[in-house]
Structure 1
Amino acid sequence: MGVDDLPAVMELERATFPADAWSERMMLGELADQPRTRHYIVAERDGRIVGYAGLAVAGDQGDVQTIAVLAEHRRAGVGALMLNALLDEAGRRGASAVFLEVRADNAPAQAMYERFGFQQLGLRRGYYDDGTDAITMVRKLDG
């Protein structure tokens, strides 16, 4: 993912996370740290960006920053493909574990993460801007 992708990504960001969308400035900050500590990717179908995902890695810890997929492309494997790519990248960068936060009211995302071997670690009360709790999850990587 690069700066040229930002208009489509920001449109997707606002549609997917209306209550707590990242600002363009925040996203530019993430992209500025590529490839040093960040790795962002997009998924395309028929030349259109239908999803994006980001990873941060520092030392031996990875963090899924975000995963978003257009509503009409959900449950078609796009999120899973991007999560696989992030986990592969985390391993290449030497991470021994990958962490993430997921909205407590997002059961489909929680189920996908569990299918990928993530386990619930804890709860962050009121984590999201609209007051929704976040479930923290972790997956150990084979070393």
Structure 2
Amino acid sequence: MTTIRLRKARAEDLDTLVNLEFSVFPGDRISRRSWRDLLKSPSALVTVATVGDIVAGCTVVLLNKRTAIARLYSIAVAPEARKQGVARLLLDVVMLAAAETGACLLRLETRFDNLQAQRLFIHLGFKPFKRIPAYYEDGAEAIRYQRMISDDEIHARPESKSCHLN
């Protein structure tokens, strides 16, 4: 059985994150400069999943304590690490992190033709709510999903409060 460990990304992960992005996405990649900024940003949580010493995946979630909405900016799983539960584990951590900052809703976008990701998002309780034409640099459409943060996730945060979205 494969042991997947999660940790907060560090500055020394920069090259690995850039390489992972290039191995997973044909376009619309996070640039090296943007990765550097995300790793330093107090409103971005970059999490890596490792299997042994290898980075198998990562997520970037944008958190803002002034809003009840968190955004999953990116999720990437190395091709050789797929179908091992890496994405699921990363998304579980994203949902808890969002709850800890007071978010009640998690949003994300995915390509209309990324059916594998869409199946996972739906399985985890995300609902599609908007289509965005020509969202990606190659002109592909995006589907925007959202998921309410569950009561269990909300109560896991230090100062539990009810969530009301306008």
TM-score in same-fold range (> 0.5): yes
**Which sections of structure 2, spanning at least 5 residues, go unmatched?**
1-8, 155-166
Match of residue 44 from structure 1: 50
Q: Residue 63 in 1 paired to residue 71 in 2? A: yes
2:94 aligned residue: 86
The separation in 1 between residues aligned to 2:60 and 2:89, in whole angstroms, is: 13
Tell me how far 1:22 sits from its aligned partner. Answer: 1.3
For 2:114, the equivalent position in structure 1 comes to 106
**What is the CA–CA distance in structure 1 between the aligned matches of 2:52 and 2:15, rounded to whole Å?**
17
**Deviation at residue 19 of structure 1 after TM alignment:** 1.7
SS in 2 for 1:22: coil
Match of 2:20 among 12, 16, 28: 12
For residue 161 of structure 2, what is the aligned residue in structure 1? none
State the TM-score, normalized to the length of structure 1. Answer: 0.95
Where do residues 20-39 of structure 1 align in structure 2 (5 Å cutoff)?
20-33=28-41, 36-39=42-45
What 5-or-longer segments of structure 1 have no aligned partner? none
TM-score, with structure 2 as normaliser: 0.82
The one of 72, 84, 99 aligned to 1:76: 84
1:134 is matched with 142
Question: d(CA) in 2 for partners of 1:131 and 1:75?
Answer: 28
Deviation beyond 3 Å, 4+ runs, structure 1: none
Q: How far is 1:28 from its partner? A: 1.3
Count of residue correspondences? 141
Q: CA RMSD in A?
A: 0.9
Q: Distance in 2 between matches of 1:100 and 1:126?
A: 16
Letter in 1 for 2:149: L
Cα shift at 1:32: 1.9
* Partner secondary structure for residue 71 of structure 2: strand
Can you list the C-alpha shifts for 1:47-86, whole angstroms capped at 9, x where unaligned?
1111110111122110001000011111110000000000
| Shift in Å, 1:37 | 1.2
**Cα distance in 2, alignment partners of residues 8 and 45 from structure 1:** 14
Identity, % of aligned positions: 29
Using the TM superposition, give the Cα deviation of residue 130 of structure 1 relative to its aligned residue in structure 2, in angstroms: 1.1
